[in-house]
Structure 1
């Protein structure tokens, strides 16, 4: 419903307006208030958050023009229609300068009333639609940044081949300044998950204090990578001490011990994985160890999975498998026992990667299938297939995330193609770097951003030309201020000039 206010000091005039509204717009308009003076018009319009005010030009206490001017200053989205007598016509016409939608000259008939009202209602409806679309787009954008930050953090954790390259790319993409780095991790002693609301409170405080923050709330701990050229000074500040006190308060509130672990400060981005490792517990994780076999080898397999490199993931796994065959003297059951624990390791890491509480791998199904394998070669092939399937799944998920980003960009283009927009505008809108966005757009769409914008504009131009619109009007409405330039672009796109297109 569209909310309106009637500001008219004549009772009969108010009655006539209500009659027209009830007759013509009963299903789409709600009258929120009726007032008889200018001061009350301003107050009630703001109090009731109305979309449209029908404002008499001459009222007690404050004129309609003055009330409209104040109202437009306080809330530019409110549409105002001035109601005026013939003798005040020239005066009312000047009201357009202060931003009122239109005016009606008394006495007006139903046709005049409907014509002016329809124009104002159309503006209100279009603005509401645009606001809804913008809200949806902002929701999409809000969901993109955490995905990117999680990817950065997990690449660093597992020290993947792409970790340093992607870190610099993402740092640039997110517009993060500074060349000193430190990791802070927060976790409960019992390894229970940090509450999302507490994590977000910490994140806001860190972002208010430091130049750059990349973070991820995992299943076991909250990880914060802080970037700032004045880290040493800021870590000793009163504000940071207050953050530490907030963490202690959370521990008391949850009746759990909580750890805040800081790494050293690094001034070289190549050391980010090294300083992250300083925040980890030094206690050996026996659950995923077997005799003297190095636990780090399993991490390398997962790092290759994150890198989406099937060949290297299988190569690292084969090193594990060769070791097991030799160490266990080809004992199939003992090798299966270790590989069962290896699957648990992968499951835990996948849960962390996707930030999901439930297991990712269907362990019961896998165990049943493994039980049926009766030779070493078949067991090896089976596990290689598991790794290939995992990487395929990661690739699909990564593609979906990229598509979501580009769909947001396309929504923006489709809404703003008539404006003089460029890649810098869109990159700023979604807080990405121009370089990354250009590369991602080409990867997902198969064409670059500029060609896509031309496509949107030309397809719209074709529709408008077919409906009979003039070339000059079409050019302006699809984003070309120069008719000749539009004509050349149109001919290049379609093969014929706009004048010959039907």
Structure 2
């Protein structure tokens, strides 16, 4: 429902307006306030968050134009219709200059009343629709950054071959210039997942204090990579101690682990491992054999490199053959634990509480394998399937990012939007976005923008709109430039296309 405020000091005039509103717009408009002076109109419009104001020109305390001007300063998108007598007609026309939508002349004629209100309603609905699209777009953008941050953190944790490149790419992407690094991790004593509210609380506190944060809320701990050139000084400050105490003193017992500070980005995985040294969970001990060896397999899986993942797995398998003296039952037992490790890591990677692999099904299949070579091939196939899944997932994430960019273009192609503007809007670097756009769409950003504009131009020209109008509507202020661009795109001039 559209919220309406009536500002009119004459009781009979208010009654006439309400009559027309109830008769013509009972299902669309709700009258949320009636006031008799301009001052009250201003305050009530703000308090009630109204969409439309019918404002009389002559009112006590603050006249209609003064109240309208103040409202427009506070809420530029509000629709205001001035109510005026014939003797004030010239005065009402001047009101258009301050952003008033229209005016109605007393006494009201139903046809005129309907025409003016219909026009205002169409504007309000269009704005609401635009705002909804904007919200959806911002929501999509909000979902992109955590995906990228998760990827960089997990690459660091597993020390993948791409971890350093991805880290440098990501810091450039976010415009991070500081070069001192520190990891801080937070986890509950019983190792269950930090809830989203607490994670967001910690992130907000740290973000407000340090220059840059890259973070990820994993299944066992919340991981924060702090990047700030004043790390040593800030960590010793009273302000940081207050942040730490506000987290430590919560009802739930929170453990906080910090790494040393480093200015060498090549040590990024090494300094993360320092936060794991005091963990109570043995499987995460950085010197534990299975964890370190299996971790290398998963690192290659994250790198989406099946060949190297299989190579690392074969090292483990050959070790098992030697250590367990080819005992099939004992090797199966170890590999079942390896599957549990993979499952846990996959849950962390996909940030899912539910197991990723169907363990019971895999257990049954492993039980049926009666030879060592078949067991090895079976696990190699599992690894290959996981790499394929990650490749598909990465493609989907890239497509999601570009779909968000395309939505932004669809909403703003009439404006002079450059690649810089779009990259700025979604907080990406121009270089990265350009490369990603070409990879996903097969054409560059500029060509895609031209395509959107020209397809819209073709549609409008077919509907009989004038070339000059069409040019303006699709983002070209110069008709001749538009005509050249159109001919280059379609092979014929706009005039002949019509």
Q: CA deviation at 1:283?
A: 7.1
Q: CA deviation at 1:196?
A: 2.0
Deviations along 1:190-243, one digit per CA (max 9) or x if unpaired, are 212222212211111111111100111111111110001111111111111101
- Superposed, 1:38-53 pairs within 5 Å as 38-53=38-53
* Partner of residue 485 from structure 2, selected from 486, 489, 492: 489
* Partner of residue 324 from structure 1, selected from 320, 336, 343: 320
Q: CA deviation at 1:107?
A: 2.9
**Matches of 2:259 and 2:43 in 1, distance apart?**
56
Aligned twin of 1:204: 204
The alignment status of 1:367 with 2:363, answered yes or no, reads yes
Contact 2:159 2:299 in 1 (8 A): yes
Contact 1:264 1:275 in 2 (8 A): yes
Contact 1:177 1:211 in 2 (8 A): no
The alignment status of 1:269 with 2:265, answered yes or no, reads yes
Aligned twin of 1:10: 10
Aligned twin of 1:36: 36
> With structure 1 as the length reference, what TM-score do the two structures score?
0.95
Could you say if the C-alpha distance between residues 40 and 478 of structure 1 is closer, same or farther in structure 2, counting changes exceeding 3 Å? same
Aligned twin of 2:122: 122
Bigger drift between 143-152 and 30-39 goes to 30-39
- Superposed, 1:407-422 pairs within 5 Å as 407-422=403-418
Q: CA deviation at 1:328?
A: 1.9
Aligned twin of 1:427: 423
The alignment status of 1:386 with 2:382, answered yes or no, reads yes
* Partner of residue 402 from structure 2, selected from 376, 386, 406: 406
**Matches of 1:284 and 1:368 in 2, distance apart?**
32
Q: CA deviation at 1:370?
A: 1.0
Secondary structure class of the residue paired with 2:408: helix
Aligned twin of 1:59: 59
Q: CA deviation at 1:58?
A: 1.0
Aligned twin of 2:131: 131
Q: CA deviation at 1:434?
A: 1.0
Aligned twin of 2:68: 68
Provide structure 1 residue ranges, at least 5 long, that are not aligned to the other structure: none
**Matches of 1:182 and 1:19 in 2, distance apart?**
68
Aligned twin of 2:339: 343
Q: CA deviation at 1:287?
A: 5.8
RMSD: 1.7
Contact 2:72 2:99 in 1 (8 A): yes
The alignment status of 1:79 with 2:79, answered yes or no, reads yes
Q: CA deviation at 1:354?
A: 1.5
Aligned twin of 1:464: 460
> With structure 2 as the length reference, what TM-score do the two structures score?
0.96
Could you say if the C-alpha distance between residues 15 and 288 of structure 1 is closer, same or farther in structure 2, counting changes exceeding 3 Å? closer
Secondary structure class of the residue paired with 2:352: coil
The alignment status of 1:396 with 2:392, answered yes or no, reads yes
Deviations along 1:287-338, one digit per CA (max 9) or x if unpaired, are 699xx96542211100000000111111111111122122222221111111
Provide structure 2 residue ranges, at least 5 long, that are not aligned to the other structure: none
Deviations along 1:140-176, one digit per CA (max 9) or x if unpaired, are 1111111111111110000000000010111111222
Contact 2:2 2:51 in 1 (8 A): yes
Secondary structure class of the residue paired with 1:216: strand
Q: CA deviation at 1:43?
A: 2.2
Deviations along 1:379-422, one digit per CA (max 9) or x if unpaired, are 11111110011111111222222221111111111000000001
Aligned twin of 1:192: 192
**Matches of 1:156 and 1:38 in 2, distance apart?**
61
Bigger drift between 47-56 and 30-39 goes to 30-39
Secondary structure class of the residue paired with 1:278: helix
Contact 2:276 2:284 in 1 (8 A): no
Contact 1:287 1:341 in 2 (8 A): no
**Matches of 1:287 and 1:336 in 2, distance apart?**
19
Secondary structure class of the residue paired with 1:77: coil
Could you say if the C-alpha distance between residues 334 and 319 of structure 1 is closer, same or farther in structure 2, counting changes exceeding 3 Å? same
